[in-house]
Structures are given as structure tokens and as C-alpha cells.
Structure 1
Amino acid sequence: MKFQFVAILFLLFISCSDDDRVIEDLALEGDWTLSNVACYCSFEEDVDFSLTTINFDSSKSMVTVSNKSEYVFFRENGEHFYGGQVNRINFSDGAVFFFETRGDQLTLTYEDNPDIADDEVTFVFNR
């Protein structure tokens, strides 16, 4: 019986590897302003993406979205809890985004559903 218990503990221990890290979100922390949306869609020439801002608070695992435009680009206004692993952000509605930060730029790319054509969308934010 002790052997089985030790074996189970060992398996649990080795299954918790670096691949299971929680989201690496320290680089996300703070305010971001939308600068571009790349998708299979079109926008009027005078659309001001900068009217959409987000704020990541990693201590609460929350992103606050503010849309001051008639358009909703990233998410609805308000606070949204997020989770994820490594470079993926998951929201409670099932939306998943891959993120990449490079200096003062944040890129959020919607995880493509292969069963839906043209659902690819990338949001580019700047500090």
C-alpha cells in the first residue's frame, strides 16, 4: 500500500513540469492602447483604434477594457478575469489569445478555430 501511495506521489510530482507554468504575465502588466486590428474584415478609413484601452492587473488576474468608440474591438467594456499558461490567455467565455510582448508593443492573436473560416484576428497594442 505504501508503495502505491509513493508511486502516485512520484507521478504527480513529475507531471508538474516547467511546461505547466502559469501565464507569464508580468510583461502584460499596465496600460495598453489599441493601435491596429488585423483581420479578414474592413474598417472605415477614419476608425480610431486608440479609443480602446486595456489594463492588465496580474495580481488579480484581471484585464479592464475601456471602449470609448462605437465599435467593440477586443472585449466589452468592464473587467474580465483571465487565466492561461505560458503565452496563452483564456477568458471565461472560451476565447483564447496568444500573446507576445516586444518592448512597448503587445500582440494578442485570437486562437483560430479550424472549423470556422476567416476567424483570425490580431490586436496590436502599444504602451
Structure 2
Amino acid sequence: MKLKLVAVLFLLFISCSDDDRIIDDMALEGDWILSNVACYCFFGEDVDFSLTTINFDVSRAMVTVSNESEYIFFRENGEHFYGGQANRINFSDGFVYFFETRGEQLTLTFEDNPDIADDEVTYVFTR
């Protein structure tokens, strides 16, 4: 009886291992260039969104952000660890984004807080 219990516990332990991806992020892998920001905000006509790039390293669950602009889009410069479930990316500061990839385009949409007006923002990246 004890052997059966140990076997069941072993199978449960293996089925909960970190080998299973919680977040469906394989399509995020690689370099992305910001092409547009959609929000209730104003940017002058001369804003060059392409000065912001990101790189997803899904094997390390890390995104590296590089901002060469006077504006900071998406996140601060540097490396940021992420987690999540399905199509949601969570960062340690509590920011959550929904992501969608279609071919060479990545859309990251900030998870809206219904108690805050005008916090909706969507980032569009291309390869």
C-alpha cells in the first residue's frame, strides 16, 4: 500500500515539474522593434518609436529592453524577468500584459485596471 502511495506521489511530482510551460511564449523569442503605441496620450509627430527594441529570451524567461529615445516606452532599459499563464506576461512590479503574435507582429496590451481611467495602452512591435 505504501509503495502505491509513493508511486502516486511521484507521478504527481513529475506532472508538476517546471518542464511544462505555463506561458505560451515560444513565438516571442528574438528581437522586436517598437512600431506604434496606442493609448490615451499624445506624442509629437516626430517621435521615432523604432528607437525602442526588446529581445525575448524564453529559455531564461527574460526580456531585454533598449530605449534610445527621450521617451521610455514599455519598460526601463535592462533585463526583466517575466512569468505568466497562457497569453499573459507578468512582471515582478505587478504590471501584466496580454500578448498576441501574428507573423512578424507582436502586440502587447497592458492589462487595464477598471478603477483607473485612461490607463489602456497597446504596444505594437515588428521583427
Scaled by the length of structure 2, the TM-score of the pair is 0.85
Aligned residues: 115
Could you tell me how far apart the structure 1 residues matched to 2:21 and 2:49 are?
33
1:1-127 map, 5 Å: 22-127=22-127
> Helix, strand or coil for the counterpart of 2:106?
strand
- Deviation of 1:123 after TM superposition, in Å, equals 0.0
| Off by >2 Å, runs of 4+ in structure 1 | none
Rounded Cα–Cα distance in structure 2 between residues aligned with 1:125 and 1:22: 23
Deviation at 1:103, TM superposition (A): 0.1
1:85 Cα deviation after fit: 0.5
Query: What are the ranges of 5 or more consecutive residues in structure 1 without an aligned counterpart?
Result: none
Runs of 5+ unmatched residues, structure 2: none
Q: Aligned-pair distance for 1:21?
A: 5.6
CA distance in 1 between partners of 2:80 and 2:119 (Å)? 21
The root-mean-square deviation of aligned C-alpha atoms, in Å, is 1.8
TM-score w.r.t. the length of structure 1 is 0.85
Sequence identity percentage? 83
